[in-house]
Structure 1
């Protein structure tokens, strides 16, 4: 009798000793992101991977005896890898608003790290690295202790059958989700292994063009003419991180209202009108090149594998279309600081990266060249001469000064000629900009500052430099990172068309654009849909009514919609 009671007490004690290591291991595999920061919060969910692994460990200890410390250390290393991968999996979407992509994020991850740490002193960078290594070592020791305790507890536990059932039942329920018809996301954390498999599948497709070729749909028809433009310069500006959140978020919209009024007044004073719309970007929070290629080619690049395949083809683009009608095509790419041979796909007449732009001034952080300086150099080199004495230009200009982490923000310089030189920015200007704090957890103040700068140089350019006949299209490449946009934000971006040609703006109006700077802009579809709209608007084959011009003046923006 006493022996039976002792065995039961021993089994109960062993069972209780399993609870703590299981809870600790479950916690490190199910934590979530402490949005909008980069910290973590514990979440009351179950880890399917832990439960399945615990069942296997239990069966092994019951059938084969004690597990060697070497094997248990290897298991601790595996769990540590899962913990680190989970941190990446929950943190990157919280900051960027999109899941991790091994192909693109792996290729450019070192640049993001360099950008985030370039202003850190060496001692601080070294100390942070050592702290991370020490934290990883301590976490490994903690995990190893829990796995050893779990293995020993399983070996001593006398109720193995009931324990196996208790551990495996939730795993079977998780696998049965498609058939039980219940949403179990509140009960289970998404397994890290599933995310790794998904990322691996994306990587496989990106590295195997044969698998991805089917992703490319038909290209738009580029057979039309450009006669509706009348041979004017066309400047396509991809405004970095300019998203629909600047309208949809009341706080951001109110903060940027004076800047939009400045732009509206500049358009009015220069005799231009404006129409606006919205489109869906193929990316969110980063990977701007997917937006550029989607609009220039008219191909859906939401899947990065499609983009990789696209660059290996000879499909037509807006660049080739304009070149075929006598335009000199120019790519002004201040954000590119290394060779980009893939860019040959577009076939620009001139390709100006950060080194070829000719900017002699000081570097404002990682992105070096202020947007105003890049535009001033473009104007002097390509646009200053009247179009009557040269071929018209088609310019593609992705901006950089509003790129995450939105610091440092260059100051606006009133002298557009001086901004092209060495001394346009004083040491005091540079020091002040570099002294502004960078925050990935609270980037909204910096984002607003960078967007005000964008509106200012654009407004001043429209008023003081831009040729009266030029057509200027400004489109956001993607929404800002989720730390600014918020969780669950749309992928919509604004599109603005500036022109003094009322008939041309009327053609945009018939395509769905609305007068003004976008407070009530309509969603016209995806960026490839916009490509087709542009081709249709630029082509003069349709019978247009000369009286249907509408009122597309810039005027003052209407009240912000809350």
Structure 2
């Protein structure tokens, strides 16, 4: 920039003064304090202070004051760093909203291309091209805007150098407040936005842990599946196995007197349905690695036998080669199926588990109306699972099934809840739920402040369709493992609730039930009051029960 140009810039800066400086800083702050406009991939402005914007502006102000000017190359570099942080923040607030979890640099990076292909499947090449160009142009425009802001700040700080300490104080105070205490406004929102740089640091650590066998060995507990690598599944007699993760089915349904009383008759109906055809149920409690949400931590803990409660272990597990129950059953000739009615988006993590088939909301064949965000009622999902996989093995007959089915109808806020359908066969068609009933269900109010009535209704629904399925459709040799994934949200449990969940194993296999009783299970639908241990400890118990025969020692690796 020539002397004449710098003079004109200085004149403009002097004319706008502090007002211009404040407006520029507000713009930069907004670029690093936005949030996700859920549900979706858009952003929404938030009245928060961004610590990193303060730090970057402060650094530019100090440099301009000490050097008298800011070179154009430095403004470009500063703008590039700032735009990079904006992109990191966008990813950091968008991925959890879309995928339900924070971004994992190692795992998501490996599958980013496949995810993009899935997201754009069915779109025209022209639309994909225009969208890509629009994104690149948007990033370029953002860079130019931020660079102009950097030039402005440099010019202002050079001209107004005598007021440096006022600028320093104004920029440093928000940073200090962010570091020392989480101030809140009247609506309970933090006055300071979460920084974006910790996301970069977290991603680097995840990458390090994922690619380092030594770090994996340090972070991950041993997998019992390895110990049973040479053990067969003879105790199952070739029967199908269904692991059903009952969403939000927590020990509160047993420990809270009011909830237990409201569910007593539904449990009695389930117990009667179990005993009707010679089946038996044994029950226990385990401690879930999560509470009120984060179901995937419970799923992965049971399927791998690895403790996923410590922070970072879940992400490290997905990038490891730890064996899974899915792989163990596959090696013994089972067809392995992940029946995922709640899965509505690409799921690159599914590759870790090694399912032969993953059926999500788009591919499991449901043709009825959507019931809220989760769309597919559990009863309908079970009906479709039975027809496609259990009913004489319609897909690949002759092979037993190992199916993992996480339910969704009892997910918070527990409404809308689909009505009960007596005719299971009707659930395969689009007219299973009539329009008037569907509209009435959708009109039921949702309450986050008092969700207990809706929670009870969702639990009754779960117990009812399970009982009816066992009465009318289940094969006699089916082994049904029902595991609560976690306790419901705190507005249901109240403060101080434990993290325990019920486990029920239902089968007509007397030897299987006896082995489980030897490991702490008790007969009936009511488990003992003491938990057997953490969720991942249940994996070894089940493997032993599935493998053990009378008078026969289980052969495992040393």
Note whether the superposition's TM-score is higher than 0.5.
yes
Which of 378, 381, 386 aligns to 2:385? It is 378
Whether 2:473 is the aligned partner of 1:465: answer yes
The 8 Å contact of residues 273 and 470 in structure 2, kept in 1 or not, is answered as: no
Residue 335 of structure 2, aligned match among 326, 329, 332: 329
1:359-398 deviations in Å (ceiling 9; x for gaps):
4632526655432223224334554669xx9775443323
Deviation at 1:237, TM superposition (A): 0.9
Q: Which residue of 1 aligns with 2:187?
A: none
C-alpha separation in 1, matches of 2:327 and 2:103: 33
CA distance in 2, matches of 1:75, 1:489: 49
Give yes or no for the alignment of 1:303 onto 2:313: yes
> Partner of 2:537 in structure 1?
529
Aligned partner (choices 425, 431, 436) of residue 428 of structure 1: 436
Q: Which secondary structure does the structure 1 equivalent of 2:200 belong to?
A: helix
Deviations 1:463-512 (A, max 9, x none): 44335564321123456678988999876544332346676445434434
1:412 corresponds to 2:416: no
Equivalent residue, structure 2, for 1:395 = 403
Summarize the alignment of residues 20-419 of structure 1 with structure 2, pairs less than 5 Å apart: 49-65=52-68, 99=102, 101=104, 152=156, 155-156=159-160, 158=162, 160=164, 191-202=195-206, 208=211, 214=217, 218-220=222-224, 221-222=227-228, 223-226=230-233, 228-229=235-236, 232-239=239-246, 241-242=247-248, 244=250, 246-247=252-253, 254=258, 258-259=262-263, 261-271=265-275, 272-281=280-289, 285-286=293-294, 288=296, 291-300=298-307, 303-310=313-320, 313=321, 316-322=323-329, 328-331=334-337, 333-335=339-341, 351=357, 353-354=359-360, 359=365, 361-364=367-370, 369-380=376-387, 383=390, 393-402=401-410, 409-419=417-427
Q: For 1:158, what is the secondary structure of its paired residue?
A: helix
Task: State whether residues 232 and 547 of structure 2, in contact with CA within 8 Å, keep that contact through their aligned partners in structure 1.
Answer: yes
Deviations 1:160-187 (A, max 9, x none): 469759977997999xx9xxxxx86679
CA distance in 2, matches of 1:352, 1:189: 38
Secondary structure of residue in 1 paired with 2:423: coil
Alpha-carbon distance in 2 for matches of 1:345, 1:149? 49
Distance in 1 (CA, whole Å) between partners of 2:516 and 2:89 is 46
Tell me: CA distance 1:309–1:202, structure 2 relative to 1, closer, same or farther (3 Å).
closer
- Inter-CA distance 517–267: structure 2 relative to 1 (3 Å threshold): closer
Which SS does the other structure have where 1:498 is aligned?
A: strand
Q: What SS does the corresponding residue of 1:495 show, helix, strand or coil? A: strand
Cα contact 1:244–1:479 (8 A) shared by 2: yes
Gaps of 5+ in 2: 1-16, 37-42, 120-140, 184-190, 553-558
Q: CA deviation at 1:268?
A: 3.4
- Distance change >3 Å, CA 233–CA 404, structure 1 → 2: same
CA distance in 2, matches of 1:184, 1:303: 29
Q: Which moved further from structure 2: 57-66 or 480-489? A: 480-489
Look up the SS of the partner of 1:372 in the other structure. helix
TM-score (normalizing by structure 2)? 0.62
Q: Displacement, 1:532?
A: 0.9
Bigger Cα displacement from structure 2, 146-155 vs 445-454? 146-155
SS at match of 1:475: strand
The DSSP-based 3-state class of the residue aligned with 1:417 is helix
Distance 1:401 1:461 in 2: 16
With the length of structure 1 as denominator, give the TM-score of the two structures.
Answer: 0.61
Q: CA deviation at 1:535?
A: 1.6
Counterparts of 2:337 and 2:54, CA distance in 1? 54
* CA root-mean-square deviation: 6.2
Structure 1 gap segments, 5+ residues each: 1-13, 116-136, 178-182, 545-562
C-alpha separation between the residues in 1 aligned to 2:163 and 2:215? 52
SS in 1 for 2:248: coil
Q: Is the 8 A contact 1:320 1:347 kept in 2?
A: yes
CA distance in structure 2 between the aligned counterparts of 1:157 and 1:359, rounded to whole angstroms = 68
Q: Is the 8 A contact 2:292 2:488 kept in 1?
A: yes
Which deviations, in whole Å up to 9, do the C-alpha atoms of 1:305-340 show, x marking residues without a partner? 434434xx5x65434544566x64341524367898
**1:72-105 per-position Cα deviation (integer Å, ceiling 9, x unaligned):** 8997897788689669868998999965545668
Q: Among 482, 502, 506, which residue is 1:498 paired with?
A: 506
Specify whether residues 516 and 412 from structure 1 end up closer, same or farther in structure 2 by C-alpha distance, changes over 3 A only.
same
In 2, Cα distance between equivalents of 1:411 and 1:184: 48
Cα distance in 2 for residues equivalent to 1:98 and 1:523: 28
Report how far residue 413 of structure 1 moved.
0.6
Between the aligned partners of 2:338 and 2:282, the Cα distance in structure 1 is 24
CA distance in 1, matches of 2:158, 2:367: 67
- What is the rounded CA distance, in whole Å, between the counterparts of 2:197 and 2:87 in structure 1? 12
Alignment of 1:545-556 (within 5 A): none
In 2, are the aligned partners of 1:245 and 1:485 still within 8 Å (CA)? no
CA gap of 1:520–1:337, structure 2 versus 1, over 3 A, is same
